Amino acid sequence: MELLIGCGNSRVKKLYIGEDKEWKELRTLDIDPNCKPDVVHDLNVLPYPFEDNTFDEIHAYEVLEHCGRQGDYRFFFAQFSEFHRILKPNGRLLACCPTFNSIWAFSDPGHTRIISPASLIFLSQAAYAQVGESPMTDYRGIYKADFIRLVDKVDGESYNFVLGAVKPLTDKPLVCDNTQSNLVEKIEDAPNT
């Protein structure tokens, strides 16, 4: 089952894994009932109205920058912990948002934060091994979830990424493909960087 958050009026699958270009069992969520989502909910209100381990994929297209506030680390970790909670083991979060240097980053009055490759480092428990050896802040006291970054792709003014939910008792380990070849594609045939 897939969840498209902040769906608005579009039901297009913009990011996909391999050849999986079509939705299998789509659920939609948006704050605006006029968009006719399956679930009307504000992404700034936690917890999300789903059971644990519900979704194989969560898709977030140009919506994460509308949530929380820059520097609000508590909400940042709480939101990604919610994504982790509702994803099945080995589930994936596929997302795109403006890069920090995009004209849209803070031109849109509804944008309240930037998601960057550097901010996603804090979502991996393995990354905390560098605490004490680098300036990295240790958030393990408030953040217990774990994601592995499977794809990072800057495409013009858009930052596309895929995170895999690391959960105990999984039968297939997640593997990071640093080559990024054919793992995630934009339907608009954007070039790889």
Task: Tokens 């699958």: give the residue.
Answer: 13
Q: Any alpha helices (H) in 33-116, and if so which ranges?
A: 73-86
Residue 193 lies in a domain: no
Q: Which two tokens stand for residue 113?
A: 């934060």
Residue 103 lies in a domain: yes
Nearest to 114 by CA among 122, 102, 105, 123: 105
Residue 67 lies in a domain: yes
Residue 191 lies in a domain: no
For the segment 164-173, the average pLDDT, to the nearest whole number, is 73
Single-letter amino acid, residue 111: H
Which secondary structure element, helix H or strand E, spans residue 81, and what is its range? Answer: helix 73-86
Radius of gyration in angstroms for the set of CA atoms belonging to the chain, rounded to a whole number: 16
Task: Tokens 């939705």: give the residue.
Answer: 23
pLDDT, one tens digit per residue, over 95-109 is: 999 998 888 888 899
Domain containing residue 68? 2-186
Residue 160 lies in a domain: yes
pLDDT, one tens digit per residue, over 40-94 is: 999 999 999 999 999 999 999 999 999 999 999 999 999 999 999 999 999 999 9
* 8-state DSSP, 64: G
Neighbour-count burial for 132-161, b at 16+ CB within 10 Å, e otherwise: eeeeeeebeeebebbbbbbbbbeeeebbbb
* Whole-model pTM over 0.85: yes
Which secondary structure element, helix H or strand E, spans residue 159, and what is its range? Answer: strand 158-165
pLDDT, one tens digit per residue, over 124-159 is: 999 999 999 999 999 999 999 999 999 999 989 999
Q: How far apart are CA 53 and CA 58, in angstroms?
A: 11
Q: Which two tokens stand for residue 10?
A: 């579009």
The answer to whether residue 181 scores a pLDDT higher than 60 is no
Total structural domains in the chain?
Answer: 1
Nearest to 87 by CA among 183, 163, 7, 188: 163
Res. 11 pLDDT band, cuts 50 70 90: very high
Q: How far apart are CA 84 and CA 123, in angstroms?
A: 10
Looking up residue 42, the CATH number of its domain turns out to be: 3.40.50
Q: Which two tokens stand for residue 5?
A: 């958050």
Residue 99's CB is within 10 A of a number of other CB atoms, namely 17
Q: How far apart are CA 138 and CA 132, in angstroms?
A: 9
